[in-house]
Amino acid sequence: MEIKFKPIGIVHSPFKKTEDIELQRQARTRGFDDVAGELEIFDDYKEGLKDIEGFSHIILLFAFHQAKGFKLRTRPPFEKRLRGLFSTRSPHRPNPLGMTVVKLVQRKGNILKVRGVDMIEGTPILDIKPYTPRDRKSRIRVGWLEKSR
Protein backbone atom coordinates (compact mmCIF):
# COMPACT_ATOMS: atom_id res chain seq x y z
CA MET A 1 0.00 0.00 0.00
CA GLU A 2 1.27 3.44 -0.87
CA ILE A 3 0.19 6.55 1.00
CA LYS A 4 0.70 9.98 -0.52
CA PHE A 5 0.63 13.33 1.23
CA LYS A 6 0.24 16.80 -0.23
CA PRO A 7 1.87 19.63 1.75
CA ILE A 8 -0.46 22.34 3.05
CA GLY A 9 2.37 24.83 3.51
CA ILE A 10 6.05 25.33 4.23
CA VAL A 11 8.21 26.38 7.16
CA HIS A 12 10.30 29.55 7.08
CA SER A 13 13.11 29.01 9.54
CA PRO A 14 16.45 30.58 10.53
CA PHE A 15 17.93 27.09 10.01
CA LYS A 16 18.98 26.75 6.38
CA LYS A 17 20.40 23.22 6.61
CA THR A 18 20.21 20.28 9.00
CA GLU A 19 23.66 21.06 10.40
CA ASP A 20 22.35 24.42 11.68
CA ILE A 21 19.89 22.57 13.92
CA GLU A 22 22.65 20.29 15.21
CA LEU A 23 24.78 23.36 16.04
CA GLN A 24 21.85 24.80 18.01
CA ARG A 25 21.58 21.51 19.95
CA GLN A 26 25.31 21.39 20.63
CA ALA A 27 25.44 24.99 21.82
CA ARG A 28 22.91 24.14 24.53
CA THR A 29 22.91 27.82 25.46
CA ARG A 30 19.19 27.82 24.80
CA GLY A 31 16.66 25.34 23.59
CA PHE A 32 14.46 25.77 20.59
CA ASP A 33 11.70 27.47 22.60
CA ASP A 34 12.80 30.97 21.55
CA VAL A 35 13.60 30.21 17.91
CA ALA A 36 11.16 32.25 15.81
CA GLY A 37 9.82 31.15 12.45
CA GLU A 38 6.83 31.39 10.17
CA LEU A 39 4.47 28.83 8.74
CA GLU A 40 3.25 29.78 5.28
CA ILE A 41 -0.02 27.99 4.64
CA PHE A 42 -0.92 27.68 0.96
CA ASP A 43 -3.99 29.62 -0.22
CA ASP A 44 -6.01 26.44 -0.87
CA TYR A 45 -5.87 25.70 2.89
CA LYS A 46 -6.04 29.23 4.35
CA GLU A 47 -9.72 28.91 5.28
CA GLY A 48 -8.79 26.02 7.56
CA LEU A 49 -6.90 28.46 9.81
CA LYS A 50 -10.16 30.01 11.05
CA ASP A 51 -10.26 30.04 14.87
CA ILE A 52 -6.64 28.92 15.30
CA GLU A 53 -5.74 32.20 17.05
CA GLY A 54 -7.46 30.93 20.21
CA PHE A 55 -4.76 28.31 20.80
CA SER A 56 -1.44 29.10 22.46
CA HIS A 57 0.33 26.08 20.94
CA ILE A 58 -0.10 23.94 17.85
CA ILE A 59 1.16 20.55 16.76
CA LEU A 60 2.89 20.45 13.39
CA LEU A 61 3.15 17.29 11.33
CA PHE A 62 5.81 17.64 8.67
CA ALA A 63 8.04 15.74 6.28
CA PHE A 64 11.76 15.29 6.88
CA HIS A 65 12.19 16.10 3.20
CA GLN A 66 15.98 15.86 3.19
CA ALA A 67 16.32 12.65 5.21
CA LYS A 68 17.98 9.78 3.37
CA GLY A 69 17.55 6.19 4.47
CA PHE A 70 17.31 4.84 8.00
CA LYS A 71 18.76 2.32 10.43
CA LEU A 72 16.70 0.58 13.09
CA ARG A 73 19.42 1.33 15.65
CA THR A 74 20.68 4.91 15.89
CA ARG A 75 22.82 7.08 18.14
CA PRO A 76 20.90 10.16 19.37
CA PRO A 77 22.79 13.44 19.90
CA PHE A 78 24.84 13.43 23.13
CA GLU A 79 24.38 9.67 23.57
CA LYS A 80 27.08 7.01 23.49
CA ARG A 81 24.74 4.04 23.11
CA LEU A 82 22.78 2.92 20.10
CA ARG A 83 19.03 3.14 20.65
CA GLY A 84 16.08 1.67 18.82
CA LEU A 85 14.96 4.08 16.10
CA PHE A 86 11.41 4.25 17.40
CA SER A 87 12.63 5.42 20.83
CA THR A 88 14.29 8.47 19.23
CA ARG A 89 13.31 11.57 17.30
CA SER A 90 15.75 10.88 14.46
CA PRO A 91 14.66 12.27 11.08
CA HIS A 92 15.96 9.12 9.36
CA ARG A 93 12.88 6.88 9.50
CA PRO A 94 11.06 4.37 7.29
CA ASN A 95 8.41 7.08 6.81
CA PRO A 96 10.22 10.40 7.30
CA LEU A 97 7.47 12.13 9.26
CA GLY A 98 8.11 14.65 11.99
CA MET A 99 6.00 16.12 14.74
CA THR A 100 6.68 19.10 16.96
CA VAL A 101 4.81 21.53 19.18
CA VAL A 102 5.30 25.25 18.60
CA LYS A 103 3.95 28.34 20.33
CA LEU A 104 1.52 30.26 18.14
CA VAL A 105 2.45 33.94 18.43
CA GLN A 106 0.29 35.53 15.73
CA ARG A 107 -1.71 34.89 12.58
CA LYS A 108 -1.53 37.28 9.63
CA GLY A 109 -3.71 35.90 6.84
CA ASN A 110 -2.08 32.67 5.73
CA ILE A 111 1.10 33.23 7.81
CA LEU A 112 1.45 31.85 11.32
CA LYS A 113 4.24 33.39 13.38
CA VAL A 114 5.55 30.80 15.82
CA ARG A 115 8.28 30.13 18.39
CA GLY A 116 9.99 26.82 19.00
CA VAL A 117 10.99 26.08 15.41
CA ASP A 118 13.28 23.06 15.06
CA MET A 119 12.86 22.46 11.31
CA ILE A 120 14.87 23.73 8.35
CA GLU A 121 13.79 26.33 5.80
CA GLY A 122 11.35 24.93 3.27
CA THR A 123 10.18 21.98 5.36
CA PRO A 124 6.82 20.78 3.99
CA ILE A 125 3.95 21.05 6.49
CA LEU A 126 1.54 18.12 6.22
CA ASP A 127 -0.98 19.04 8.91
CA ILE A 128 -1.65 21.31 11.89
CA LYS A 129 -3.56 20.33 15.00
CA PRO A 130 -4.31 22.33 18.14
CA TYR A 131 -2.37 21.38 21.26
CA THR A 132 -4.99 20.75 23.91
CA PRO A 133 -4.90 19.96 27.65
CA ARG A 134 -5.67 16.29 26.99
CA ASP A 135 -2.28 16.08 25.26
CA ARG A 136 -0.56 16.73 28.61
CA LYS A 137 -0.46 13.68 30.84
CA SER A 138 0.70 13.83 34.43
CA ARG A 139 2.10 10.31 34.27
CA ILE A 140 4.28 10.63 31.21
CA ARG A 141 7.39 8.44 31.22
CA VAL A 142 10.34 9.30 29.00
CA GLY A 143 12.14 5.94 28.83
CA TRP A 144 15.91 6.04 28.46
CA LEU A 145 15.83 9.86 28.35
CA GLU A 146 15.04 9.91 32.08
CA LYS A 147 18.60 8.84 32.89
CA SER A 148 20.15 11.54 30.70
CA ARG A 149 18.43 14.42 32.55
Domain ranges in the chain?
9-133
Nearest of 5, 34, 12, 4 to residue 110 by alpha carbon = 12
- High-pLDDT (> 70) share of the chain, %: 84
pLDDT digits (tens, 9 = 90+) for 132-149: 876 555 566 667 766 655
**Cβ contacts of residue 134 below 8 Å, gap of 6+?**
none
Higher pLDDT, 148 or 82: 82
The whole-angstrom separation of Cα 68 and Cα 39 is 24
Phi, psi (rounded to 5 degrees) for 2: -115, 135
For domain 9-133, the question of CATH label 3.40.50.620 is answered with: no
* Average pLDDT along the chain: 87
What local confidence, expressed as pLDDT, does residue 34 receive?
82
Higher pLDDT, 125 or 33: 125
CA angle 16, 18, 21 (to 5 degrees): 85
Residue 29 has pLDDT above 70, yes or no: no
Residue 67 has pLDDT above 70, yes or no: yes
